[in-house]
Amino acid sequence: MVSKTFRVFYQLIPSALGQIGMLWVQKNAAPLIIHILLPQKDIPIIQTISKNWPGVLEQSHEKLKKLCLQIQNFLEGSPVSFSLELIDMTLCYDFQKKVLLETRQIHRGKVICYGRLADRILAPGAARAVGSALARNPFPLIIPCHRVIKSTGYLGNFGGGSEMKRFLLQMEGVPSNAREKIGPEYFQK
């Protein structure tokens, strides 16, 4: 959770997938995003926000408008290059930061397996730890954890659910077969 010295705000972003919640704090007169919440089946996003961040206030910020528009464009299928300028990674632990920053290097239209991602951050054999770090990714979409799959080609887990992971990958040009398996030609080298 965020230090009690910072007031937490949220902004809702309408999308084809449902409302996305963006939680942010203000530090040195600038908004910093601390969490992006993807819609969950049968649970209103505002309910999740209120439960996990009591006392949070709905408020927009001029500097967040561009990012909100980028998220909407991304979910409509447009290629978007997200900046980390407004992202507050101070609550991420060191290993997780390495995983998240390397995950940003996965190209649109490609996937990588957990073990290969572990190798890339010089942590061979740490596929499970990579999966745990991604499971706690506070910035889905901006940090494209949906592009990380099992070495077998199967989708694996995703905070927004397997249907959303499949949708995001297909939107980016990575189809899965009827068994939800991705072909080797989509793996990033």
Burial of residue 171 (CB within 10 Å: 0-12, 13-18, 19+) is middle
Span 20-59, pLDDT tens digits: 999 999 988 889 999 999 998 888 999 999 999 999 999 9
Q: Is the pTM of this model over 0.75?
A: yes
**pLDDT number for residue 122:** 97
Residue 128 · residue 148 · CB < 8 Å: no
Query: How would residue 170 be classed by pLDDT, with cut points 50, 70 and 90?
Result: very high
Task: Give the largest CA-CA distance in the chain.
Answer: 50
Size of the chain in residues: 189
- Helix (H) or strand (E) holding 113, with range, is strand 112-113
Q: Which two three-digit tokens encode residue 100?
A: 């998240």
Least confident segment among 15-19, 75-79, 131-135 = 15-19
The one-letter amino acid code at 39 reads P
- The helix/strand/coil state of 45 is helix
Q: Quick check: 68 pLDDT over 80? A: yes
145 is catalytic: yes
d(CA 113, CA 95): 17
- Measured CA to CA in angstroms, residue 88 lies from 3, 83, 125, 138 at distances of 13, 12, 28, 10
According to the model, what pLDDT value does residue 4 have?
58
pLDDT (tens digit, 9 = 90+) per residue, 105-147?
Answer: 999 999 999 999 999 999 999 999 999 999 999 999 999 999 9
**What's the whole-number average pLDDT of the chain?**
93
- Tell me which of 68, 92, 113, 145 is the catalytic residue: 145
